Structure 1
Amino acid sequence: MADISPIDLQKALKGAEYPAGRDDLVSLARDNGADDDLVSKLRDASADRFDGPDEVQKTVFGDA
């Protein structure tokens, strides 16, 4: 699996409006040209809804 950076995540979610559902963010990431690894991480996220980009980042990268 390729390393995914926070910058890659920001680019993938450009234009996101929060709060946002996981499925909406997955679709947006695909539309923004995110690679399959990043899309998979979003799709497999434990949360169904995100209040902002920091919450997405914490979930995807496991930051506490």
Structure 2
Amino acid sequence: MAELDPIELQKALTGAEYPAGRDDLVAPATSNGADSTLVQKLTRSGSKRFDGPDEVHKAVFDNE
């Protein structure tokens, strides 16, 4: 599995609006060309709702 990069997460979430549900973040990540590993991490994150990018970062990187 490729190592995830916080900068790539920021790029993937360009255009995302918060608060956002998990599916609301997967769509822009996919259209922004995010790595499949990152999309999987978003899809499998435990949170169903994110109030901001910091919460997304925690959900993706704290579970590595």
Same-fold status (TM-score > 0.5): yes
TM-score by length of 1: 0.94
Report the secondary structure of 1:47's partner residue. Answer: coil
- TM-score, length-normalised on structure 2? 0.94
**In structure 1, what is the Cα distance between the partners aligned to 2:48 and 2:28?**
15
Gaps of 5+ in 2: none
Give ranges in structure 1 of 5+ residues lacking alignment.
Answer: none
Offset of 1:24 from its aligned partner?
A: 0.9
Aligned residues with identical type, % of pairs: 65
CA distance in 2, matches of 1:43, 1:2: 16
> Over aligned residues, Cα RMSD in angstroms?
1.0
Q: How many equivalent residue pairs? A: 63
Which stretches of structure 1, 4 residues or longer, exceed 6 Å deviation after superposition?
none
SS at 2:14 equivalent: coil
Amino acid paired to 1:16? A
